[in-house]
Chains A and B, each alone.
Chain A
Amino acid sequence: MSNEANLHSHDSHDTNHEHHHETFITKYVFSQDHKMIAKQFLITGMVWAVLGGLMSVLFRLQLGYPDSHFSWLEDILGKWWVKDGQITPEAYYALVTTHGTVLVFFVLTAGLSGTFANFLIPLQVGARDMASPFMNMLSYWFFFAASCIMLSSMFVETGPFSGGWTAYPPLSALGSASPGSKTGMDLWIIAMALFVVSSLLGGLNYIVTILNMRTKGMSMTRLPLTIWALFFTAVLGVLSFPVLLSGFILLIFDRNFGTSFYLSDIFVNGVGALPNEGGSAILFQHLFWFLGHPEVYIILLPAMGMVSEILSVNSRKPIFGYMAMIGSLFSIAILAFLVWAHHMFVTGLNPFLGSIFVLLTLLIAVPSAIKVFNWLTTLWRGNIRFTPGMMFAIGFVSLFISGGLTGIWLGNSALDIHLHDTYFVIAHFHIVMGVASMFGMFAGIYHWYPKMYGKHLNNTLGYIHFWITIAGAYLIFWPMHYEGLAGMPRRYYDYSNWESFKQFADLNRFISTVAMIVFATQLLFLFNFFYSIFKGRKVTSLNPWQSNTLEWTTPLRPGHGNWPGEIPEVYRWPYDYGKDGQDFIPQTTPVGEEESHH
């Protein structure tokens, strides 16, 4: 390979190409290099994933062992969180709320698309950096500021916000109705507002870079599916996050300036009747879910894109139905904006309006089915290499099927009226959105780690990580379907007083135990990640997965600017695997005269 000559050129590159004097601060802190910003997003996201996971372990401790006393926990966390060795209801709800907020926004939005959009877009479209590296840097630091404020809300006297990640008013608007809605909620809103700004700065950058900065020959239909997915993700974010922000601004007004956008006819125990009249609590839900539903796809699409790429590379076969994959991404992106009220079937929504949302919601199953069958056909008659990244990609498909199918149950309003807000919903969205996207993220990390750090992760640890995680994920969430079919409501601190639900005490203990094991396994992954940065096996090939895409034409550790010389030109789509008996044909290889057309 001619590329091998570049193997050791990065040293000279560092001194020659686009060299400006870099201090520790400009290189690692206020970096404008998209690759460094990607790592910043990734590591901040990982910190949040650990915290968010730890929170779930804590509240699972309460659900699994409601009668046990953990006095050591009290020593660590203090009296507000743990009283007499038991997690208090206030702490339980704070944990549930923060777990949801952090995982949805900070880990699976910023940590996932923040990391991989930043890392992959310039490398895969053939650009030296983002369209605006400065804005890109701001995007990270807004996220960092949001993180700090969210974290600080955990330490205020009245406790962090505890009204659920959806923050429905009036509960979120009235400090008198819940202590968590006092200072904790103020900090929560500020953190979320900063987060929205971060997403917008990032998203605009991604869109502009993809549209304007593709290298010569890189037409839109020669883009890897990762880029298409990240493109639609960014479009979704840019169009929907401002609506969420406007909803939050109205909420700030209701909380602090006496307006009544969401408040009407309220009498709070111990306080009395409030003066607010004429508002609608449902209005917030419309504004929230107008982001909230696209948000699900903001989380899912990057994972889908990366999985498509990784499945194809490791099957040594082209992705099946490239255009259909783009088409289904596009239709999912459009439909994502037209289904938000399926979260609101039981709010007293006009039944006719509800029926439109049923139709549009179930319509999403069609592009989803196309994607699944295309993935399956991609695997069919391939020559599959089980790299850890590939394993997680396969796991993603399995989870996406399992969780996607229960969406057909919940999207049908006549069933939702029974299953809404039960554990069935928890099982559904954790499998299809939470765990599946997490698998997409793991797949991405395992696959692009050699490009990020020039080292390999330990494969054996990767396999252990995969098998425990997928088995654990199913063991945790599969039985929850049954709890939901028994009507067991979510967000309950304790079920022992309920004749209909206390029968699940044993099952809850089982689920909690598995959750702890799975959480411990993630620490193993973290260890692998950080250990390998320093001590991992060195990457010896420029293109370790024998992949077609452009990022593998850069030097081992590309500097700022990515390619030491000219940016390579692109002559073909990225999925020529196994064509004309050749294992792979990189995008930079010109089309031969004898070559067949696909």
Chain B
Amino acid sequence: MTIYLTIAVIILVFLIIFQISKASEYVGILKGEEQNRKNANKVNGFLMISFLIVGLIGVWYCNDLLFSKTLLAHSSASVQGERVDSMLWITLAITGIVFIITQILLFWFVYKYQEDDKRKVFYFAHSNKLEFLWTAVPAIVLTGLVIFGLRNWYYFTSDAPKDAMVVEVTGKQFGWIYRYPGSDNQFGKKYYKNIDPASNSLGLIWSDNATLNLKDDPASHDDIVTEQTMYVVKGKPVKLIIGSRDVIHDVGLSQFRLKMDAVPGIPTTMWFTPKFTTAEMKKITGNENFQYEISCDQMCGNGHYSMKGVIEVVEQEDYDLWLAKQKPLYLQSFPDKDPNAPKTDSTAKTIAKN
């Protein structure tokens, strides 16, 4: 019912606006078109300058309302992010100044130079001096921004420090799989045709496979594979090796100010140094439920919006405790191979496997 009411109201408003407009056109013809045009000109000139003033107040008000919700409101959660933030501030300052000056000039000019019978326009077709001025000044400012930006860009894309911990992140529709290299500090080989969603989500090559022509890679036997939550250590650089199992995804780490695509067949990397543990961030942001979220930032299908991962930044000792509890995927899939597991009837399984 409300919808019909809404439609009726909209149509009514339309009709009123239309009738007013039509009437004003007739009044114009009665008053003389020229006079009418000049009146409208005055009204619109006034509206132009009002728009400028209301607009600038609006910009300030909007900032007042929303700034605290942006990431800039508190310090970046990664060392790299600090550089992003300082770049944001400098770019904001430069573009902000240009924005305010040019918008003021635009609306001030159109207000000031609105039609006036007494004014003689200034025939001013070109000036090499002025053209040079506004070619050179933007070029110099932009050169500064480019140099500043590229220095950061090369830093962000440089090789991770040698002591960085390495985690492999693989996107799939619609979730993230993390892999840690295990005690040998080496990732085992994997092959996508070896994937079994139930027991081997990454296709680790942990046994010989004649049909696929694969040879067992023992380095894969201690690889730890988890989903949902990735654990990293505060203050320790972490390098992500990013891949995808199906379509293109993107590891979006807004709190750390970084992101990188996950492309099937082409591994990418990204590294950063977390500055605060999750618990510390809860205090900094004043949000009890704070999480470091991994958002998928590349359209990946109908579940794109639900493709959420979590990063838990912890102190080294908590990380060690967590790691000690993890069991390599190989041993989860083949419990009988676990030397620590209680010996049960493993012969039956071995026969079945062969």
Chain A residues with CB under 8 Å of chain B are: 72, 89-90, 93, 162-164, 168-171, 174, 177-180, 263-269, 273, 277-282, 315-324, 346-348, 351, 354-355, 358-359, 362-363, 365-366, 369-370, 372-374, 376-377, 379-386, 391, 394, 397-398, 401-402, 405-406, 408-409, 412-415, 417-418, 420-422, 458-461, 463-464, 467, 470-471, 474, 478-479, 482, 485-489, 491-495, 497-501, 503-504, 507, 520, 523-524, 527, 537, 575, 577-581, 598
Contact = CB atoms under 8 A, between A and B. Distances in A.
Q: What 9 A-B pairs have minimum CB-CB distances, sorted nearest first?
A: A487-B254, A264-B265, A348-B268, A578-B121, A414-B152, A351-B157, A412-B149, A460-B21, A381-B122
Nearest to B158: A351
Contact of B113 (A72, A348, A382, A580): A382
A263 B263 CA distance: 10
22 contacts: A177-B173, A180-B302, A273-B192, A316-B121, A320-B126, A346-B261, A348-B267, A358-B150, A379-B109, A386-B110, A386-B115, A394-B48, A409-B91, A414-B87, A417-B259, A418-B258, A493-B305, A498-B295, A499-B287, A507-B66, A524-B14, A580-B123
Given A379-B110, A384-B114, A463-B44, A527 B14 contact: yes
Nearest to A385: B115
Contact of B195 (A178, A273, A405, A598): A273
B47 A269 contact: no
A348 B263 contact: yes
A414 B147 CA distance: 11
Contacts of B99: 401-402, 405
B297 interface: yes
Contact of B142 (A374, A408, A478, A489): A408
Contact of A489 (B109, B121, B252, B291): B252
Nearest to A367: B135
A408 B94 CA distance: 10
Interface of B: 3, 10, 14, 17-18, 20-22, 24-25, 28-29, 37, 40-41, 44-45, 47-48, 51, 55, 58-59, 62-63, 66-67, 69-72, 81, 83-84, 87-88, 91-92, 94-95, 98-99, 102-103, 105-107, 109-110, 113-116, 119-127, 130-131, 134-135, 138-139, 142, 145-146, 149-150, 152-154, 156-157, 172-173, 192-193, 195, 197, 203, 242, 245-248, 250, 252, 254-255, 257-261, 263-269, 287, 289-291, 293, 295-306, 308
Given A348-B269, A414-B83, A507-B66, 19 more contacts: A168-B298, A170-B247, A177-B247, A273-B192, A318-B123, A347-B268, A376-B105, A380-B122, A381-B113, A386-B45, A398-B107, A417-B84, A474-B55, A478-B58, A479-B62, A493-B304, A499-B293, A524-B18, A537-B25
Contacts of A373: 130, 134
Nearest to A165: B299
Secondary structure call for the B interface = helix
A461 B102 contact: no
B269 to A, nearest CB: 8
A493 B269 CA distance: 28
Contacts of A500: 254-255, 291, 293, 295
Contacts of B261: 346-348
Given A376-B106, A491-B299, A171 B150 contact: no
Nearest to A271: B246
A212 B254 CA distance: 54
Contacts of B156: 414, 417
Given A379-B113, A394-B110, A479-B62, A414 B69 contact: no
Contacts of B295: 487, 489, 498, 500-501
Nearest to B152: A414
A349 B300 CA distance: 20
A578 B304 contact: no
Given A266-B245, A346-B261, A370-B134, A320 B124 contact: yes
A458 B21 contact: yes
B299 A163 contact: yes
Contacts of A366: 135, 138-139, 142
Nearest to B172: A269
B245 to A, nearest CB: 5
Nearest to A314: B115
Given A265-B264, A366-B142, A418 B41 contact: no
Contacts of B125: 318-322, 575, 598
A458 B106 CA distance: 26
Contacts of A170: 246-248, 264
A401 B123 CA distance: 25
B248 A171 contact: yes
A290 B276 CA distance: 41
Contact of A365 (B20, B142, B257): B142
Contacts of A266: 192, 245-247, 264-265
Contacts of A579: 123
A269 B99 CA distance: 49
A266 B47 CA distance: 58
A503 B106 CA distance: 35
Nearest to A276: B265
A527 B259 CA distance: 46
A460 B25 contact: yes
B47 to A, nearest CB: 7
Contact of B150 (A383, A414, A420): A414
A406 B297 contact: no
B154 A486 contact: no
B124 A377 contact: yes
B192 A265 contact: yes
Nearest to B102: A401
B17 A461 contact: yes
Contact of A486 (B37, B69, B120): B69
Contact of B17 (A178, A264, A464): A464
Contacts of B269: 348
B264 to A, nearest CB: 5
B246 A281 contact: no
A336 to B, nearest CB: 17
Contacts of A474: 55, 58
Given A266-B246, A280-B266, A324-B126, A413 B260 contact: no
A461 B21 contact: yes
B121 A415 contact: no
Contacts of B242: 348
Query: Which among A380, A381, A418 has the highest number of chain B CB atoms within 10 Å?
Result: A418
A164 B299 contact: yes
A504 B69 CA distance: 8
